Amino acid sequence: MSKVGYHTAASGVMSYQAAMDITANNLANVNTYGFKASRPSFADLIYTKRNTNNEEVQFGHGVRVDKTDLMFEQSQLRDTGRKLDFVALDEGFFAVETVNGDVQYTKDGAFYLSNNLDGTYTLCNSAGGFVLDYEGNRITVPFIGDTSDIDYDALTALVGTYKFENPYGLDQVGNNYYQANLSSGAAVADPTVKKKTGYLEASSTSVANEMSKVIEYQRAFQLNINMVKTHNELENIVNNLRN
């Protein structure tokens, strides 16, 4: 008995399980500032052609998750009233030197002061990474004259903003960081990216949209599971008849 039907349904089970995992990750980050939701894109597997009444008919052999697309539309801005909170509007990013020494990029602009041994302060994020300027250097927080008051205007000018030729191709690497690759192109410092202080960019996850996707993927998952079960039952019947 041909196993084409079994493998076709099994590919659907695995694909929709992956889609539900992506949706679950979106929902888990509904309150994560700067988070950008993902959408799975599906692709058909190989086709075979059959000649039926002198007409060529194509039969598919399943589906797979071809890629995961990041949704970079501008999210809602939340007024925090905190001057160390930043937003890089539209497709702008902040560069961060992580604790591992790598340079990653983020939309989360919740920054803090880190005290240095020499009495100066460096701008960091909540994960302990160093926020970088347009030259890729760590930012030493400026103060007004000899006072202990931060020069927020000068600090805002120092915070670097970066753009990518194709931000939708970035890799998500955890901790709300994105990593450049061949698909996204290299990060380019872009002072024209507009910044806002006293605000944070909310997650782009829409609970209503994600819940509708959960229902859609779950139904498709159940349908494919039933197809697998049906194929197994038919195969058992055939094997019993042979015996």
Task: Say whether 116 sits in a helix, a strand or coil.
Answer: coil
Q: Are 152 and 82 in contact (CB under 8 A)?
A: no
Average pLDDT over residues 58-86: 82
pLDDT of 168 over the 60 cut: yes
* Per-residue pLDDT at 147: 85
Classify residue 121 by its DSSP letter.
Answer: E
Separation between Cα atoms, residue 162 and residue 5, nearest integer Å: 48
| 231 burial type by CB count under 10 A (0-12 exposed, 13-18 middle, 19+ buried) | buried
Task: Say whether 32 sits in a helix, a strand or coil.
Answer: coil
Q: Per the structure block, which two tokens stand in for 73? A: 């539309």
Q: Per the structure block, which two tokens stand in for 65? A: 């998750």
* Per-residue pLDDT at 1: 47
Q: What are 138's strand-pairing partners?
A: 132
Measure Cα distances from 8 to 51, 63, 182, 208 in Å: 21, 7, 32, 31
- 213-230 pLDDT, tens digit each: 889 888 888 888 888 888
- 16-63 pLDDT, tens digit each: 888 889 899 999 999 999 999 988 877 766 655 555 565 565 556 677
Higher pLDDT, 187 or 39: 187
Q: What whole-number percentage of the chain has pLDDT above 70?
A: 89
Query: What's the predicted TM-score (pTM) here?
Result: 0.79
- 198-214 pLDDT, tens digit each: 999 999 898 998 999 88
